[in-house]
């Protein structure tokens, strides 16, 4: 009976281990790597032209430089030579899940034309891929809901690329810019005018009554000093 139970346990361990390396996907409790490629050359590449080491950070703090964005990579563009081997270190600076996905790669090397790194929280992953020789601009983004729309989008150019992709923060204009219309009513206009009036009146009042305010402040300070001396004597 013990031998049977041990056999079931071992079978479960083997199945679990095989599931961790399945169909080009490496996965553990911290993150996932899909379709990494450090050896196989694209058909149009006779050899690797260069080795490029790139560190990419992802997180909320990198979006602070972009108005209206919530998530971002620390860089929004990279440029490499045709047939370059790119060694990526992906670092998640947040406690939430982020991805780094590159689309449009040749499907015979990268299933679904995709290279994918994912971290479920703070940490880092390393993986490589080899770019084709085609002069092209590739999309780099996080595919989690609203992460790309909120700023986590960049572009990877091979040989200068074939143009900029839309909506890359700090680089290109959005296809459709966010618009936040104001519902102007009598009440909202009244509040705005009242706020502007108060904002102008307060500095004017301070300037006109500066001498009086100074005298009042000095009297208050004098009284406080007298009370402190009395407390010390008592």
* E strand intervals along 43-152: 51-59, 72-73, 77-80, 85-92, 98-103, 114-119, 123-130, 136-141
Is the pTM for the entire model greater than 0.85? no
Mean pLDDT to the nearest integer, 80-96 = 98
Domain 22-158 falls in which CATH fold? Immunoglobulin-like (2.60.40)
What does the domain layout of the chain look like in residue ranges?
22-158, 186-227
User: Bigger pLDDT: 41 or 22?
Assistant: 41
Residue 180, pLDDT > 80, answer no
Stretch 177-206: mean pLDDT, rounded? 83
Whole-Å CA distances, 8 to 3, 19, 20: 9, 16, 19
Residues 120-145: pLDDT tens digits? 999 999 999 999 999 999 999 999 99
- Give the number of C-alpha atoms closer than 13 A to the C-alpha of residue 39, restricted to the C-beta side: 0
CA distance 68 to 174: 13
Q: Nearest CA to 95 among 61, 56, 123, 116? A: 123
- Please count the CA atoms within 13 angstroms of the CA of 84 that sit on its side-chain side: 21
Q: What is the mean pLDDT of residues 42-62?
A: 97
Q: Tell me the two tokens of residue 9.
A: 């346990």
The span from the CA of 67 to the CA of 171, in Å, is 13
Angle between the 210-233 and 186-208 helix axes, to the nearest 10 degrees?
70
pLDDT band at 22 (very low <50, low <70, confident <90, very high): low
Banded model confidence at residue 97, pLDDT cuts 50, 70, 90 = very high
Q: What is the pLDDT, as a whole number, of residue 50?
A: 97
pLDDT computed for residue 213 by the predictor: 77
């Amino acid at each position: 009976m013990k031998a049977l139970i041990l056999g079931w346990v071992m079978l479960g361990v083997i199945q679990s281990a095989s599931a961790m390396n399945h169909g080009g996907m490496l996965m553990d409790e911290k993150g996932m790597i899909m379709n990494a490629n450090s050896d196989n050359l694209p058909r149009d590449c006779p050899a690797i032209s260069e080795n490029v080491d790139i560190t990419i950070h992802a997180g909320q703090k990198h979006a602070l430089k972009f108005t209206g964005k919530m998530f971002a990579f620390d860089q929004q563009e990279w440029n490499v030579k045709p047939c370059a081997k790119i060694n990526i270190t992906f670092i998640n600076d947040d406690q939430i899940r982020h991805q780094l996905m590159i689309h449009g790669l040749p499907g015979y090397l990268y299933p679904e034309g995709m290279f994918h790194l994912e971290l479920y929280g703070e940490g880092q992953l390393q993986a490589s891929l080899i770019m084709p020789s085609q002069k092209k601009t590739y999309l780099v983004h996080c595919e989690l809901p609203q992460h790309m729309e909120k700023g986590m989008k960049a572009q990877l150019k091979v040989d200068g690329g074939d143009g900029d992709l839309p909506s890359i923060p700090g680089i290109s204009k959005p296809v459709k810019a966010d618009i936040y219309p104001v519902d102007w009513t009598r009440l909202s206009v009244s509040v705005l005018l009242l706020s502007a009036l108060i904002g102008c009146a307060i500095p004017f009042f301070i300037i006109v009554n500066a001498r009086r305010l100074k005298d009042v402040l000095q009297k208050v300070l004098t009284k406080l000093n007298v009370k402190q001396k009395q407390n010390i004597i008592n």
